[in-house]
Structure 1
Amino acid sequence: MHEGLDAFRRHAATHDLIPVSRAVFSDLETPVAAFWKLRRGAWSFLLESVEGGEAWARYTMMGTEPRAIYRARGAELTIERPGEAPEVIATPDPLGVVAARFATDRVYVDPTLPRFVGGLVGALAHDAVRWVERIPDRHHDPTDQTPELIFLETRLVLVWDNLKHRAVLVYLAQVTGAEGADAAWREAQAALDEAEERLAGPLPALPTSPDPAPREATVSMDDAAYRAVVEEARRFVVAGDVIQVVVSRRFDQPAAGLHPFLVYRALRGVNPSPYMFYLELGATTLVGASPEVLVRHTDGLLEVRPLAGTRRRGAAPEEDAALAAELLADPKERAEHVMLVDLGRNDVGRVAQIGTVAIPEQMIIERYSHVMHLVSHVTGQLRPGLGPADVIRATFPAGTLSGAPKIRAMEIIDALEGSRRGFYGGAVGTIGVDGNLDLCIAIRTLVANGDVFSVQAGAGLVYDSQPQREADETRSKAQAVLRAIDQARHLFFRRSL
C-alpha cells in the first residue's frame, strides 16, 4: 500500500499482514545490479523471466535477509528466525506445515501491487516425493545433509515490472492488532528507507574469476553406462511396467573458486528462459534457467505446461525450421508428448473442479538457446477448500521428469540412477501470502555445494529409444549450464564488472 499511517491503522484493525510499498526510480538500474546492492548474507534470492510472453515474463523479484528459514529433511522440520534458537518440529508432512504458513493470516490485498508481494521463496528437492508416495530410497546417504525442502519467508522484496519498466519495494508488515500498528509502520518505513539507500548507493565490488581455464567435468554415467541403462529401461517397457521412464546423469566439476553469481550472469546470456533463478540457500546455491513450469496457481486458475520432445537448435534458420518440422512429425516424440499431456491432465484433475480441465495450447514448438521442445498448456479451476500443499502434492514431481505411470517410473529411477537426485527434477519458486504459487521444474540448473558444481540432465526412455541418441540428449540439455560455467571463468577473469 502506498497510503499513509492513517490508512495503515485502519487496515491493521482487520488484517495481520499488510504489504507496505514504495516506488523506486529505476531507469538507470538493472535487476542484476539492484540484486547485488540489496543482497546481504547467505540467504538471498533473485527470480527473473528473461524469455517469454507477458504472462510468463513480466516480473523480476529479489529479496534478502529473510524473516525465517524453513529446512526439512525426512520427518524433521527446522525453523530458524534471526536472534532466536532454532525450532525443531517432528512431522511426517513438512511440506504441509510450511505451505500452510499463511493459511490463518488475514492478508490485506492491495490491487495496485504486483501479484507476489511476499511469502515463501525456495526449493523442493526431487526426494521430497517420499513425503507423498512410498518410493524406495536405495541411495540414502546419512552423510549427505541436502534438505528435501528449503524455503525463505520474505521480509522485504523488490519487484521489477518488466512491462511497465518500474520497480517497487514491498515490506510485509506483521501486525498484532490495531494497538501494534504504529510500531509495525515504523518498522516497515525503516526497512524501506534502508533498502532505498542501498539501491541509491554505489554497486558493491563484484566477484571475479580466479582462473579462466575451463575445468573437466566428471559424469556419473559415461556414454557406455548410459546406453546400458537405456537398454535396461527398454526391458521395463517391454515387460509392461512403464510406458516411459526418465533417467538422468550428473556432470560434476570443481568450482575452483568461481562464484556462482558469475555463472548466473553468464547463464542469462547463454540460455535466457522463462524461469531464471539465483538462490543463495546457506551452504547451497541454485543457479537455473528452467523452461518449464511445474505448476502455477493464480486466484483459482491452475496451469501446467508439459514440455516433452526435444531437438537441438539449428545452426541457421533453414536448419532450425527443418529440425522443428522433424520434431513435429516424429511419431515417437508425438506419442511421448501426448502421454505426458494426459499425465498433466490427470495431475491437474486431482485438485481441479470437475469439468474444468482444458488444453488451450497443444503441441507447439518453443525454442531455447540450445534446444527446442514440444509444449502443451493444461489448465483447470482449483476445488474450493484446497491449498498450496494440495496443489504441489498433485503435480509433484513433474511427469516430464519421472515418466508414466509416475510411481512405477520413480521406483525404476531409484533402481537405475546411482544416487539421490537432490534438487534436480524438484521445484523452485514462490508460495505467496495469498495462497497463489508459481513453481518451475529444477532443470537446466547448477547446484553449487562447497567446491563442487553439479549439473544433471535426463532423457525420456521408451520402447524405441536409441541409446546413443538419448545419451546425446542428456549432454545437450546439460550443455547450456556447462557452457555458462566456462564462459563465466573466462569473461569475468580479473574483471570487476
Structure 2
Amino acid sequence: MQTKIISNISEFKYKALSFANTFDICCFLDSNGLDDRYSKFDCLIAFGHQDKLILKPNEDSFSALKNFRKKNNGFILGGLSYELKNEIENLDSKNQDGLNFPNLFFFSPLHLLIIKGKKLQIISPDANDIFKLIDETIVKKDITDLKVNIKARLNPTDYRNKFLKIKNEISLGNIYETNFCMEFYDENCEISPIDIFIKLNIKSPTPFANFFKWNDKYIISATPERFLAKRNQKIISQPIKGTAKRSENSVEDIKIMKSLYLNPKERQENVMIVDLVRNDLTKFAIKGTVKVEELFGIYSFKHIHQMVSTVVCEIHNDTDNIDVIKNCFPMGSMTGAPKIKAMQLMDLYENSKRGMYAGAIGYFDNENDFDFNVIIRSILYNSSNKYLSFHVGSAITHDADPEKEYDECLLKIKAILEILQNKKGDLI
C-alpha cells in the first residue's frame, strides 16, 4: 500500500476512472464532497479482479455470495438486482428485459484506490506503476453528437390509466402505498459510458454516485439514496420519500423546502416506508435497538430537495452481513407496503423488468463493514446489443394525483434527459 497527497482531486479521480475503464471490471464510487456522516471515504475506485463471482444456473444467489465472501475477506464490490426478490419471496416477473444484467455480481479487486480529502491510498501489487499510468492518462471527451432516441414504455395517458387502477388497489385495501415505475429506453444506440457518467456526475452530483462496468454492461448512476450500511455493529438505512424541485431564487427555494417538510402527502409516504424499514430491521436487530434517528430530514441537491429519514439498529457480532442485506432487500422505498403484495402488483402493472434499477451497488470492506446505495436516477447500458435504459418511479398513495406524480418522475430524470440531449416533448 502507498499513500500520496493529490492536489487536484477532481482531475485525478476522472483520470483514474478512465484508466480503470480499460479493465473488464471496474467500480467507481463518489460522494462528490457532499456531507455524509456515515461515509468512510470520499471516492473509491476499484479495477481488475483477483476473483469474481459468476452465478451458476439455478444457484441460490445469497448462498453463492456468502461462499464468495468467505474466500475473499478484503474489499469486494458488486451489485444486487431487484429481481433477487424472486429468490427471497414467491414472486416472478415475466416482463421484458433488454439489458440482461446478472442478478448478482461481485469481484475482489486487484487494484484499489481510496481518496479521503487530499489523501490517496493505493492498495495494489503494482502501486507505483498504477499511479504513473493514471497520471499519464488523458481523459478523452466524446465530441460527437449523441444519436440517442429516447422512447417511453408508457405515454402519459397509459400512465394515468394504470395509476388509477393502482389507486383502486389501495381503495380496496390490497396495499397502502407502492412505487410505480416506468422505463425510458433506446434499442440501438452507441454512447461513451465514461463521458456520459462524467457529464452526469458534474451536472447532478450526489453522495452515492457510481460507475460500474461488468464486461459489456454499465451502470451510470447519480443516485442520492443509501440502501443499507454497517458501521461496527450499527446498521443504517436512509429511505427517500418526498421530492420537490429547487428554485434559483434563494427565498423561494427556502419556501419550497419548508413546504416539502410540511406536506401531508409526502410525510405520509415517508412515514409508511420508515415503518416498513423498522419492521425489516427487527428481523435481526438486538431487541429494543431499532430507532428512527432522523424523521423527515430535508436534503438539498443540485436540482431537487429530498425528504430523507434515517433508521438504525444494533446487531450481534455473529450476525451475518449477507443475511442482514437479504432480510431488507429489496429496499422499502422502491417497493411499498405491504412489501410482498406491492411487489407482486407492480410486476403486473409495470411493463418492463426493473433489473438493476431499484437494486443496489456497494461494497463489503476489510473491517467487516458494508455500504450499498439504491440504483435510481441511473442509466443502464448493454454495449453488446446497444440497449440503453433508465427507469423512474414515484409513490402512489390514496391521495396521490397522477398528473403531479408524472411531472415528479420527469423532474427526477431531468439531468439524465439533458445529458442525453433530449427534451420533455420527445417522450410522449
Q: Same fold (TM over 0.5)?
A: yes
Offset from partner CA, 1:354-402 (integer Å, 9 cap, x none) = 1111222111111122221111111111133221211111211111111
Q: Give the whole-Å Cα distance in 1 for the aligned partners of 2:150 and 2:20.
A: 33
CA positional deviation for 1:38: 4.4
Q: Give the whole-Å Cα distance in 1 for the aligned partners of 2:13 and 2:239.
A: 29
Offset from partner CA, 1:215-260 (integer Å, 9 cap, x none) = 4420011111111111011111011110001111111136743201
Counterpart secondary structure, 1:365: strand
Counterpart secondary structure, 2:137: coil
CA positional deviation for 1:104: 6.6
Q: Give the whole-Å Cα distance in 1 for the aligned partners of 2:272 and 2:303.
A: 24
Offset from partner CA, 1:54-93 (integer Å, 9 cap, x none) = 5255421112111122233xxx36xxxxxxxxxxxx52x2
CA positional deviation for 1:145: 3.5
Offset from partner CA, 1:318-349 (integer Å, 9 cap, x none) = 22222222222221111111111111111122
2:52 counterpart of 1:69: yes
CA positional deviation for 1:26: 2.1
Contact 2:28 2:43 in 1 (8 A): yes
Per the alignment, residue 394 of structure 2 pairs with: 459
1:96 corresponds to which of 63, 77, 80? 63
1:119 corresponds to which of 70, 75, 99? 75
5 Å matches for 1:145-294? 145-162=100-117, 165-171=118-124, 188=125, 191-200=126-135, 202-204=136-138, 206-211=140-145, 215-253=148-186, 256-294=189-227
Amino acid at match of 2:16: A
Contact 1:103 1:435 in 2 (8 A): no
Q: Give the whole-Å Cα distance in 2 for the aligned partners of 1:60 and 1:205.
A: 18
Q: Would the alpha carbon gap of residues 38 and 227 (structure 1) be closer, same or farther in structure 2, given more than 3 Å must change? A: closer
Contact 2:33 2:42 in 1 (8 A): no
Contact 1:123 1:427 in 2 (8 A): yes
Counterpart secondary structure, 2:69: coil
Contact 1:39 1:63 in 2 (8 A): no
2:343 counterpart of 1:410: yes
CA positional deviation for 1:25: 4.0
Question: Which stretch shifts more, 247-256 or 446-455?
Answer: 247-256
Counterpart secondary structure, 2:54: strand
Amino acid at match of 1:33: K
When the two structures are superposed, what TM-score results if normalisation uses the length of structure 1? Answer: 0.79
2:380 counterpart of 1:440: no
Amino acid at match of 2:131: E
Amino acid at match of 1:154: P
Per the alignment, residue 60 of structure 1 pairs with: 43
Q: Give the whole-Å Cα distance in 2 for the aligned partners of 1:441 and 1:99.
A: 21
Counterpart secondary structure, 1:139: coil
Contact 2:99 2:380 in 1 (8 A): no
Q: Give the whole-Å Cα distance in 2 for the aligned partners of 1:429 and 1:423.
A: 13
Offset from partner CA, 1:100-133 (integer Å, 9 cap, x none) = 423377x6xxxxxxxxxx4221211110111211
Q: Give the whole-Å Cα distance in 2 for the aligned partners of 1:144 and 1:266.
A: 22
Per the alignment, residue 48 of structure 1 pairs with: 30
Q: Would the alpha carbon gap of residues 381 and 258 (structure 1) be closer, same or farther in structure 2, given more than 3 Å must change? A: same
2:309 counterpart of 1:376: yes
2:274 counterpart of 1:341: yes
Aligned residues with identical type, % of pairs: 22
Q: Give the whole-Å Cα distance in 2 for the aligned partners of 1:70 and 1:486.
A: 36
Q: Would the alpha carbon gap of residues 44 and 247 (structure 1) be closer, same or farther in structure 2, given more than 3 Å must change? A: same
Contact 2:28 2:210 in 1 (8 A): yes
Question: Which stretch shifts more, 431-440 or 374-383?
Answer: 431-440
5 Å matches for 1:342-357? 342-357=275-290
Query: Any unmatched runs of 5+ in structure 2?
Result: 423-428
Q: Give the whole-Å Cα distance in 2 for the aligned partners of 1:39 and 1:146.
A: 18
Contact 2:185 2:389 in 1 (8 A): yes
2:400 counterpart of 1:473: no
Per the alignment, residue 483 of structure 1 pairs with: 418
Amino acid at match of 1:203: T
Q: Would the alpha carbon gap of residues 384 and 23 (structure 1) be closer, same or farther in structure 2, given more than 3 Å must change? A: closer
Q: Give the whole-Å Cα distance in 1 for the aligned partners of 2:308 and 2:174.
A: 26
Contact 1:209 1:258 in 2 (8 A): no
Q: Give the whole-Å Cα distance in 2 for the aligned partners of 1:259 and 1:39.
A: 11
Contact 1:358 1:379 in 2 (8 A): yes
Amino acid at match of 1:294: F
Question: Which stretch shifts more, 360-369 or 478-487?
Answer: 478-487
Offset from partner CA, 1:258-284 (integer Å, 9 cap, x none) = 201111111112111110111111111
Query: Any unmatched runs of 5+ in structure 1?
Result: 1-20, 78-89, 108-117, 172-187, 488-497
CA positional deviation for 1:310: 1.3
What is the RMSD computed on CA atoms of the aligned residues? Answer: 2.1
Q: Give the whole-Å Cα distance in 2 for the aligned partners of 1:53 and 1:218.
A: 35
Per the alignment, residue 37 of structure 1 pairs with: 19
Offset from partner CA, 1:445-491 (integer Å, 9 cap, x none) = 1101132321110011111111111111111112222222339xxxx
Q: Give the whole-Å Cα distance in 1 for the aligned partners of 2:105 and 2:364.
A: 12
1:133 corresponds to which of 76, 79, 89? 89
Amino acid at match of 1:136: D
Per the alignment, residue 426 of structure 2 pairs with: none
Q: Would the alpha carbon gap of residues 445 and 398 (structure 1) be closer, same or farther in structure 2, given more than 3 Å must change? A: same
Contact 2:44 2:113 in 1 (8 A): yes
Q: Give the whole-Å Cα distance in 1 for the aligned partners of 2:259 and 2:25.
A: 45
Structure 1 runs (4+) deviating above 6 angstroms are none
2:334 corresponds to which of 387, 401, 417? 401
Contact 2:112 2:123 in 1 (8 A): yes
Q: Would the alpha carbon gap of residues 102 and 138 (structure 1) be closer, same or farther in structure 2, given more than 3 Å must change? A: closer
Contact 2:99 2:381 in 1 (8 A): no
Per the alignment, residue 184 of structure 1 pairs with: none
Per the alignment, residue 425 of structure 2 pairs with: none
Counterpart secondary structure, 1:40: coil
Per the alignment, residue 300 of structure 1 pairs with: 233
2:6 corresponds to which of 26, 30, 45? 26
Per the alignment, residue 182 of structure 1 pairs with: none
Q: Give the whole-Å Cα distance in 2 for the aligned partners of 1:298 and 1:101.
A: 21
Q: Give the whole-Å Cα distance in 1 for the aligned partners of 2:299 and 2:274.
A: 16
Contact 2:36 2:207 in 1 (8 A): no
Contact 2:148 2:420 in 1 (8 A): no
